[in-house]
Amino acid sequence: MARKIINECHLLPFDLGVRMESMNDMGASSDMLDPGIEVFFDSAPPLKDDISIKRKVKEFIELNSSSSNIHAGNKTVRRIVCVTSGGTTVPLEQRCVRFIDNLSSGHRGAASTEYFVKAGYAVIFLHRRGSCQPYCSTLPEYPFLECFELTGESSVQVHQSHAEVVKRALKSHHSAVERGQLLKLPFTTTFDYLQMLQLIALSMKSLGPLGSFYFAAAVSDFYVPWESMAEHKIQSASGPLDLRLAQVPKMLKVIRDEWAPMAFCISFKLETDTSILLEKANMALRKYDMHAVVANELLTRKEQVTIVTREGSTTVRRGETESDSEVEKPLVKLIVDMHSDYIEESTRIGCEKA
């Protein structure tokens, strides 16, 4: 459970109402960006449907930060977290046939989304198209074909063996959507992902410390700049293929510095080599000014993770019972508690300043 904010003055330092002016002026002023970022965004093919995405994000934030969602008696407000999930692709050709991808299934982001919703958050689920969806992790690989059967000519039934998981999944998903707690936005390429992230972050700026980012997506470190990309499919006849990929600039720091500086930010570090994992997580914490970095090792990432903060590190493990079987449960609980402390702290500082 998210802790309740009991400080009366929590509305003072940041405005819960959506600031229309910042929503209408979403482009970050480009002279504040570091040159690598400018090159990246200049090189990116324009995001399709950006107007519709902006509108959805704006409406979702308005809905979840409007007074009807603030239960004055309890002094609770609905926090909003943007959970990023799944891997981003890197096109190798403009008319993309081939691309670089990474193994992320999106399970971490999807499962965490469920626990954030349970803790009362509204979640913007920024996910790789086709990756794991919240409430679906306990289902078979192809739930549609494996869970249902036709009885007689016209009646569809759930297989008895899957009845419980199917009902639980449909019920939980439906109720999250019904309560306006879940907005799902799909991406495919690294170009799409980072443009959508910028748009969401600028929209969430007005939420101050009630906004949060949980960067579970596996964003490619390398990319081929659009203009240096082959237009047509690379031909295979001419021997081995040599590729030179540029580094994707790190956007985490820009979110902290400019796009949504008050948002509570959690990033992830995945390595296959445990000997460098904690050191790399600590480096990321400082370099990108994160509030916490979740360190996970490829082979044990479903069993345990270590949450690294400036104060030290905490390892959480999944439990033995069915209701405790996902490591995302204690992970999200810890993050929610840290977020509560962060909001209290930010509010206190805001009050002192006021």
Contact positions toward a copy of itself, by CB under 8 A? 89, 92-93, 95-103, 129-130, 133, 135-136, 139, 141-145, 147-150, 154, 156-158, 166-167, 169-171, 173-174, 218, 220-222, 231-233, 236, 239-247, 270-273, 298-299
Rank residues 87 and 208 by Cβ distance to a copy of itself and give the closer one.
87
* Helix (H/G/I), strand (E/B), else coil: 151: strand
Give least dist CB 203 to a copy of itself, A.
25
CB of 101 to a copy of itself, least distance (A): 4
Closest distance to a copy of itself from the beta carbon of 15 (Å):
34
Q: What tokens appear for 149 in the block?
A: 């059967």
Torsion of CA 184, 185, 190, 191, to 10 degrees: -170
Q: Which is nearer to a copy of itself, 105 or 314 (CB)?
A: 105
Determine the Cα–Cα distance for residues 207 and 151; give it in Å rounded to an integer.
50
**CA dist., res. 40 & res. 110, Å (int):** 28
Contact assessment for residue 225 and residue 245, using Cβ atoms and an 8 Å cutoff: no
Whether 109 contacts 132, CB under 8 Å: yes
- Min dist CB 222 to a copy of itself, Å, is 5
Q: How far is the CB of 171 from a copy of itself (least distance, A)?
A: 5
Question: 77 vs 297, which CB is nearer to a copy of itself?
Answer: 297
Q: How far is the CB of 104 from a copy of itself (least distance, A)?
A: 8
Smallest distance, Å, CB 52 to a copy of itself? 16
Rg (Cα) of the chain, in Å, rounded? 21
Please list, in sequence order, all residues whose beta carbon lies within 8 angstroms of the beta carbon of residue 148, skipping any fewer than 6 positions away.
156, 157, 158, 159
Tokens, residue 346? 């930010």
Q: Sort 142 into a burial class: Cβ within 10 Å, 0-12 / 13-18 / 19+.
A: exposed
| CA 329 vs CA 80, 126, 159, 305: distances in Å | 18, 20, 28, 11
Are the C-beta atoms of residues 350 and 7 closer than 8 Å to each other? no
User: CB within 8 A of 188, min separation 6: which ones?
Assistant: 88, 89, 128, 129
Minimum distance of a copy of itself from residue 74's CB (angstroms): 28
Closest to a copy of itself by CB, 73 vs 152, is 152
Distances (CA, A) of 301 to 89, 238, 308: 22, 41, 15
Closest CB to a copy of itself among 59 and 149?
149
CB of 128 to a copy of itself, least distance (A): 12
Query: How many angstroms separate the CA atoms of 194 and 91, rounded?
Result: 14
Eight-class DSSP state of 257: I
Cβ-based nearer residue to a copy of itself, 135 or 264: 135
Residue 299 or 354: which CB sits closer to a copy of itself?
299
Sequence length of the chain is 354
Of 4 and 168, nearer to a copy of itself (C-beta) is 168
Nearer to a copy of itself, 63 or 148 (CB): 148
